[in-house]
């Protein structure tokens, strides 16, 4: 099944299950996608992806979006000040991450790349743990089994195989849970991702492949990655694909909730393509002005996920200025905590890297530790460098 809808409230035409619509095949054409909240903040409905949310839930989603963007911006500033070695910003992708993160149940398990800071927030991972890794003082800092949120994966696409294997395992255990694997449009070209699709399909694994198509694989546009919309690749592997407006937190919530339920009830994997945009650089070592036009970025600003939800809250009278001011004040507090927390992180003892290579002492590791300690002691003062 390939599911697409018009991004307006007029009548929607759905392609027959499993049959691509040639009129929609053009990669460069205006995309058809599931949308529940227009860029102007107007609520629209979709028969296959109904969503009922309370005013309190809408306000909570808005708070998530604002706070996630704030600590992401703080991290970018800290890297520019030399406090972090690198940072991969999620600017513009907050709705894709918060919507999918809030769709998960407590027992569901997420496998991220290195940019899923919003999903980490939804899984109660402290932002300082994320930043500690980019500062080089820890290797993640959180317990994946406590948070049901795996450690960040730097190798492009590798986490999709990890997620599929985990999903195969929980299926054998008979658990009523699902797995979600995050990756980008560029990673969709990796062999690991396509192998994961094959295994997940053949074993009917309860896994949702969540692709954040932010239009750019570092400096290469999606058009050079694929000849068809990414979500349609699922049909070649024998499972459904859905394209959703990745800047619409409500549509992402509804589609991901449906996909996870589809997977957990024994119906197999789903590919969700969240059609969004990377507003900033690929990482802080990248200069996007070298390969994309400013007009493109400006056009996406009108689709900003935070502004559209704020517009909806204001139009419907679901939040007042006091609420928005309170969220802004909370974001300032979070920014200060992140800034002070990063700067006060102690440097780790370099010999800690030898401690958990194996679960028990190992003579080769002991020998390497002794060699390093002797090398470090050879410097003046005997301090580690």
Can you give the pLDDT at residue 380? 66
Q: How confident is the model at residue 173 (pLDDT cuts 50, 70, 90)?
A: very high
What average pLDDT does the segment 306-322 reach? 98
Bridge-based pairing of strands 179-184 and 109-111 is: parallel
Percent of the chain clearing pLDDT 70 (strictly above) = 91
Q: Kindly report the average pLDDT of the chain as a whole number.
A: 91
The pTM for the full model equals 0.88
Catalytic member of 80, 105, 227, 291? 291
**Beta-carbon count within 10 A of 361 CB:** 9
What average pLDDT does the segment 253-275 reach? 98
Active site residue 182: no
Q: How many helical (H) and strand (E) elements, i.e. helices and strands, does the chain have?
A: 13, 8
Residues 133, 114: Cα–Cα separation, whole Å: 10
Q: For the segment 155-171, what is each residue's pLDDT rounded down to a tens digit?
A: 999 999 999 999 999 99
Residue that wins the pLDDT comparison between 241 and 28: 241
Cβ burial of 365 (10 Å; 0-12, 13-18, 19+) is: middle
Q: At residue 180, what are phi and psi to the nearest 5 degrees? A: -125, 130
Residues 130, 71: Cα–Cα separation, whole Å: 11
Is 3.40.50.970 the CATH number for 31-344? Answer: yes
Can you give the pLDDT at residue 12? 38
Bridge-based pairing of strands 207-213 and 179-184 is: parallel
Active site residue 291: yes
Structure tokens at 188: 């969709």
Domain boundaries, the chain: 31-344, 352-377
End-to-end CA distance of the chain: 57
Can you give the pLDDT at residue 2? 52
Can you give the pLDDT at residue 50? 95
Structure tokens at 288: 């996007």
- Residue 54: closest CA among 331, 306, 319: 319
The answer to whether residue 230 scores a pLDDT higher than 90 is: yes
Residues 258, 255: Cα–Cα separation, whole Å: 5
- Residue 223: closest CA among 271, 280, 292: 292
Percent of the chain clearing pLDDT 90 (strictly above) = 83
Catalytic member of 278, 308, 312, 339? 278
Active site residue 339: no
What average pLDDT does the segment 318-339 reach? 98
Catalytic member of 102, 117, 282, 308? 282
Bridge partners of 184, per DSSP, are: 212
Residue that wins the pLDDT comparison between 28 and 106: 106
């Amino acid at each position: 099944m390939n599911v697409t809808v018009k991004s307006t409230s007029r009548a929607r035409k759905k392609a027959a299950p499993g049959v691509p619509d040639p009129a929609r095949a053009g990669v460069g054409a205006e995309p058809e996608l599931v949308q529940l909240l227009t860029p102007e903040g107007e609520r629209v409905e979709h028969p296959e992806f109904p969503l009922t949310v309370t005013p309190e839930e809408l306000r909570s989603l808005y708070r998530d979006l604002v706070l996630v963007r704030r600590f992401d911006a703080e991290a970018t500033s800290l890297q520019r000040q030399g406090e972090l070695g690198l940072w991969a910003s999620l600017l513009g992708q907050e709705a894709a991450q918060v919507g999918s993160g809030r769709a998960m149940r407590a027992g569901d398990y997420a496998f991220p790349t290195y940019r899923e800071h919003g999903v980490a927030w939804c899984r109660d991972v402290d932002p300082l743990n994320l930043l500690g890794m980019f500062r080089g003082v820890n290797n993640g800092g959180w317990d994946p089994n406590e948070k049901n949120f795996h450690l960040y994966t730097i190798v492009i696409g590798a986490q999709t195989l990890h997620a599929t294997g985990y999903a195969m395992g929980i299926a054998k255990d008979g658990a009523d849970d699902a797995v979600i694997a995050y990756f980008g449009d560029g990673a969709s070209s990796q062999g690991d991702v396509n192998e994961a699709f094959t295994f997940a399909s053949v074993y009917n694994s309860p896994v949702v492949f969540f692709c954040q198509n932010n239009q750019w694989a570092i400096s290469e546009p999606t058009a050079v990655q694929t000849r068809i919309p990414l979500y349609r690749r699922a049909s070649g592997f024998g499972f459904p694909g859905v394209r959703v407006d990745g800047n619409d937190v409500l549509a992402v919530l509804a589609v991901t909730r449906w996909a996870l339920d589809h997977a957990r009830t024994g119906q197999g994997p789903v590919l969700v393509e969240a059609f969004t945009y990377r507003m900033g650089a690929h990482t802080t070592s990248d200069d996007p002005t070298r390969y994309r036009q400013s007009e493109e970025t400006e056009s996406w600003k009108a689709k900003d996920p935070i502004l559209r939800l704020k517009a909806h809250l204001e139009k419907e009278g679901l939040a007042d200025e006091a609420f928005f001011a309170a969220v802004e004040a909370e974001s300032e507090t979070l920014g200060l905590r992140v800034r002070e927390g990063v700067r006060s992180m102690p440097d780790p003892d370099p010999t800690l890297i030898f401690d958990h290579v194996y679960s028990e002492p190992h003579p080769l590791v002991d020998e390497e530790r002794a060699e390093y300690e002797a090398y470090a002691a050879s410097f003046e003062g005997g301090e580690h460098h």
